[in-house]
Chains A and B, each alone.
Chain A
Amino acid sequence: MEKTKLLTASHFRKNKGTYVGLFLLMLLAAMLISSVLLLFIDVYPTVEREAERLNSGNGYLRFSKNINGIDDAALSRLMDGDVSGYEAYHCLCYSAVSVPFGDGNVVIDAQVTDSRVFDKKIARNEIILEDSSITGNYIYLPYQFYTSETRKLGDIYTMELMGRKYDLKVKGFFNTVYFGCNNAGTFEYIVDDATYRDIFARDGETMEGIVVTYALKDGVKQSKFIIRVCNELLSINADTIASSGTLDSAIRNRTFLSRIIAISFLAVSILVLIVIILMLVNSISNYVRENMQTIGALKAIGYTSGNIKASLLLMFGILAISGSILGVLLSYVLMPIVAKLVVIQMGVPYNISFNLLPSLGAFLFVVAYIMAVTALSVGKIRKIDPIIALKDGIKTHNFRKNRVRLDSSHFGLNTSLSFKTMFANMRQNVITFIVTGVIIFLCVIALLMYENFNRNPKLEMLTFEICSGVAAYDYEAKDEALEYLESRSDVSNIRRMIELYLYYNDEEKLRTYVYDDLSKLNNQDACYKGRLPKYDNEVAVSGKFAKEYGFKIGDEIRLDYGDENFSYLITGLIQTSNNNGKEAVLLEKGAEHLIDFTYVPAYFYFDCADRDVCAKILDDCTGKFGNHLISTINFWDIIEGSLTELKGLASLMLILVCSISAAVILLILYLLIKSFLYGKRKDYGICKAIGYTSNNLIFQTALSFMPPIILSVIVCGAASYFAANPYMNIMMSSFGIVKASFDIPIPGLLLIGAGIIVVSFLFAIFEARRIRKMEAYKILISE
């Protein structure tokens, strides 16, 4: 053991810089893997734990618009048999309300209630922060308003309901399972009793609703339960609108970001692990080459191959253990930054604290990985014969071609010599090419995310249809409203839309968009295969749903709405990241097989020039149609709010990926150049002796690293450009996006490519400056 320790210390002293570089890579790998595991094992389950702590039950049902007849006895009958417990409370239910959130507004359903909901037992509401000094005219907001920094305690929150504004002081923030996340589609607002009475007196007649939270008995299938309740509801009150949510979707909605971040971190971790393999193999190979005589001498004096291999294993083991420990510790520095972003969407209290399982997992994985790669790489030491090693190995020529002949080269002397050097070091070129290629791919993905989620948000990936504004009218005013909108010169491309929930096979609920004319859609890309419906017997369904139930284009599908059903021909597959990827599209004439449109309200989507024009149109609509106008949406107003978390994610990923990529490429260059300089020191000595200046040699060396980098930037940059969308398809398929058509800005791509080339060249020049310290005389006399 003493022998091994001596050898280990000797290895480390000889090549400190290289081993410190490898140590940093191991540290980075451990930090990223620990972060990924923390996201999966600690962050992600926090939402589940919170739901369990709040006694979430299995879901909720909401009855709104008209709740006549839905009394306690009716509810009891509806729930009978399937649930082990339920709890109902009255509230005011508003659909498609524009509310301040994040950096802007979001359009979401709003549920207004009073302090009675704090007494609930199933899916409890729990106050997390509260200013008890506020006693009147107040509101409790879901905790997500705090994590997204929308409001602080004591701020004024302006809630606009049915055209009336309520300025309420924020008294507290509460934790809620189903109504506390913007992705879930509904926010719950808890206001003081006097305010609630005031709002109820004004809107109660039309907006009163009932929310039922329930826990199912074992073995009851939730989708079947919901469909049964909805069907039975028709016999109680056919005008009641029923909507529902499940615990699964509530959790999924809150963990969307953490899953994307975890997958992205995983991708970067894989890059770092690949780089570690390349660098470990390279550095062990260099070690053997540079220490051939030493290995021969050691073997000659009685060291076994095992002793020498053990010393390398010990050294890399020590590096791996110390790097992993530090990396795991650093993950607890990185995670609060990530957690801050993730918590915005989770909307539940989360504080990062030490978690043994992910930390130990990351530590053990990195150490085992390094030891396995080292053990495989040091095998060649056994084959070294001591006599040959003492003669510094058998120098053989590989009869390579004399590339870039100086007498016929079209380049200048220094450039020609750089190319010669490059061709003489193919292993180094391959490593540089692969690492640069992986890095540029990651950068393209980060660029894509930044461009499509932050700079120019790709809204069609987040919503089925994009438009400038929406005006929704009740059935009495819808025809007149259409005429009015058509008469305006500032309004264009009006399409009428309603949303329905249709059911398939009594077990799957499909959110269905019904349009008067699908050819008017701005987002024609929503249908990624086949086509949108043209006739009344046609439907397009989401790809995720089709895959799950084995449907193909051309198949027939029977869809139910209440007691009605109709068989449609599937003409196309649509993609969606909403509603757990379960959506469908029909024409109005197709939906008429299931529903009579006479008494159905209409949502008019329209396009116009800009935000101000849209605001003017919607103001005019409000003024002209008054109470017949159900809701209005100015899309420009809600973009910022809807994208709060995604924008943060995109920026984080761009910064993180670009900085890790820059660090990795610089580290690789550092390790390669260092080992390259060491291997070529004799040549540098000769060149200096015959009159090459340090600047000549520095330039030659730096330049010799550039062709594989430039080639990789061009080849892998172009490949990444074409591969990024298919890659995003795979990444986002679990969210319902099947055919991503994200934009990749070419100037950004060129900038990244140029940046990698320029930074690499400057760094290579910086690293190669060590040549300046090499003295020809000292090198040559030491040989």
Chain B
Amino acid sequence: MKNIIETKKLCKTFSNGGLQQHVLKNIDLEIREGDFTIIMGASGAGKSTLLYALSGMDRPTLGEISFCDKEITKLSPDELALFRRKNCGFVFQQTYLIDSMSVLDNVLCAGLLNNNDKKAVTAKAHDILSSVDIKEELWDKFPTQISGGEAQRVGIARALVNSPRMVFADEPTGALNSQTGKDVLDALTRFNNEGQSIVMVTHDITSARRGNRILYVKDGEIAGECDLGNYVSGDKERHEKLRDFLAKMGW
């Protein structure tokens, strides 16, 4: 499969009061189209930093990132915003819906960025909201009027409304209970099965099982990777394989 993202010698260093912390160290990486890539690692290993660097939300200190063969590290902030608009969808741990907008408007405010055809975008938003099981009666509600799981699924709908090349998910189930977390993962898995490329950061083994490729980050480096193959519900062998891999990584 074709690579969507490639990095070369990717480094990220934070400075704080003269002290330098190297969070990412010379990472060379490829993310393939159609994959459900999972980034795992201990707290502070650099998973989220890597995710946000790959998505063009944060800038690396050194190194290169090419997204669909386009170098993005040298883009200006506004060029990066345009790049994200066209190519990326984001699902955050805390959902980050805009409180002053209704559910539908939260999705449309992303969708209409790329397409001025209100009718078409609205129809697509309706489809996606339905596909993540957000019922029509919730569309006019505000984020504070719906549950956390519903809000996260609205977040997924927002991330997908522009049909991005890649969805970046940062611990999307981290703030949810197990059932609502499962609903969110089901939704992501379903979209991946339909061809959507996803990169997801998680430290939850249940969530990680949904991916077909696991990258393990340790001390700012890719310490190892594991190819799990496509997710099949109740596949014990797959679960064992992941468990062994994580054990080997020191999880």
**Which residues of A are interface residues toward B (Cβ below 8 A)?**
395-397, 402, 405-409, 412-413, 417, 420-421, 424, 682-683, 685-696, 772, 775-777, 780-781, 783
Contacts and interface: CB of A to CB of B under 8 A. Distances in A.
21 contacts: A395-B144, A396-B144, A397-B144, A402-B140, A406-B109, A407-B105, A407-B108, A407-B118, A407-B125, A412-B116, A413-B113, A424-B100, A689-B90, A689-B96, A690-B85, A690-B110, A691-B114, A693-B78, A694-B81, A695-B78, A776-B57
Q: By CB atoms of chain B within 10 A, which of A397, A420, A686 has the most?
A: A686
A689 B109 contact: no
B226 interface: no
B105 A691 contact: no
Contact of B105 (A406, A689, A695): A406
A683 B145 CA distance: 18
Contacts of A776: 57
A691 B110 contact: yes
B82 A693 contact: yes
Contacts of A412: 116
Contacts of B84: 689-691
Given A690-B158, A776-B57, A777-B57, A420 B101 contact: yes
Contacts of B81: 688, 691-694, 696
A395 B94 CA distance: 15
B94 A783 contact: yes
A682 B96 contact: yes
A776 to B, nearest CB: 5
Nearest to A424: B100
Interface in B6-26: none
Nearest to B121: A407
Those 6 A-B pairs whose CB atoms lie nearest each other, nearest first:
A691-B85, A406-B108, A424-B100, A777-B58, A397-B144, A693-B78
Contacts of A772: 77
Contacts of A406: 101, 104-105, 108-109, 112, 118
Contact of A683 (B98, B112, B142): B98
Nearest to B102: A402
Interface string B30-67: 00000000000000000010001000011000000000
B122 A407 contact: yes
Contact of B100 (A421, A692, A693): A421
A613 B77 CA distance: 71
Nearest to B58: A777
Interface of B: 48, 52, 57-58, 77-78, 81-82, 84-86, 88-90, 92, 94, 96-102, 104-105, 108-110, 112-114, 116, 118, 122, 125, 140, 142, 144-145, 158-159, 162
Contacts of A780: 92, 96
Nearest to A407: B122
Nearest to B78: A693
Contacts of B158: 690
A692 B113 contact: yes
Nearest to B53: A777
Nearest to B122: A407
Given A397-B142, A686-B98, A690-B158, A777 B109 contact: no
Contacts of A395: 144
B57 A417 contact: no
A407 B144 contact: no
B96 to A, nearest CB: 5
Given A402-B105, A406-B112, A777 B52 contact: yes
Given A690-B85, A694-B78, A397 B145 contact: yes
B86 A691 contact: yes
Mostly helix, strand, loop or mixed at chain B's interface?
helix
A769 to B, nearest CB: 13
A783 B96 CA distance: 10
Nearest to B89: A690
Contacts of B162: 691
A413 B102 contact: no
A397 to B, nearest CB: 4
Nearest to B83: A691
A686 B89 CA distance: 11
Contacts of B96: 682, 685-686, 689, 780, 783
Nearest to B96: A686
A392 to B, nearest CB: 13
A417 B109 contact: yes
B104 A689 contact: no
Given A420-B105, A424-B100, A690 B77 contact: no
A294 B109 CA distance: 33
Contacts of A694: 77-78, 81
Given A691-B85, A691-B88, 6 more contacts: A397-B144, A405-B104, A406-B112, A409-B118, A686-B98, A691-B86
Contacts of A777: 52, 57-58
A413 B78 CA distance: 18
Contacts of A682: 96
Contacts of B78: 693-695
A692 B90 CA distance: 13
A777 B21 CA distance: 18
A781 B48 contact: yes
Contacts of A693: 77-78, 81-82
B83 to A, nearest CB: 8
A770 to B, nearest CB: 13
Contacts of B85: 690-692
A405 B105 CA distance: 7
A227 to B, nearest CB: 76
Given A694-B78, A777-B57, A781-B48, A413 B112 contact: yes
Contact of A691 (B92, B100, B113, B140): B113
B52 to A, nearest CB: 5
A689 B122 contact: no
A406 B100 CA distance: 13
A622 B97 CA distance: 89
A718 B98 CA distance: 37
Contacts of A695: 78
A396 B145 CA distance: 9
Nearest to A783: B94
Contacts of A402: 101-102, 105, 140, 142
B110 A405 contact: no
Contacts of B57: 689, 776-777
Contacts of B92: 689, 780
B104 A407 contact: yes
Nearest to A689: B90
- Counting chain B CB atoms within 10 Å of each CB, which of A409, A694, A777, A783 scores highest? A777
Contacts of B90: 689-690
Contacts of A687: 98, 109
Nearest to B92: A780
Nearest to B145: A397
A409 B108 CA distance: 12
Q: In the complex, which of the residues B82, B98, B104 has the most CB atoms of chain A within 10 Å of its own CB atom?
A: B98
B53 to A, nearest CB: 9
A424 B94 CA distance: 22
A689 B84 CA distance: 7
A34 B239 CA distance: 80
Contacts of A408: 118
A781 B144 CA distance: 21
A564 to B, nearest CB: 82
Contacts of B110: 690-691
A772 B81 CA distance: 11
A776 B78 CA distance: 12
Contacts of A413: 109, 112-113, 116
Nearest to A396: B144
A404 to B, nearest CB: 9
Nearest to B159: A690
A420 B77 CA distance: 25
A775 B114 CA distance: 21
B65 to A, nearest CB: 14
Nearest to A395: B144
Pick from A405, A406, A695, A783 the residue with the most CB of B within 10 Å: A406
Contacts of A685: 96
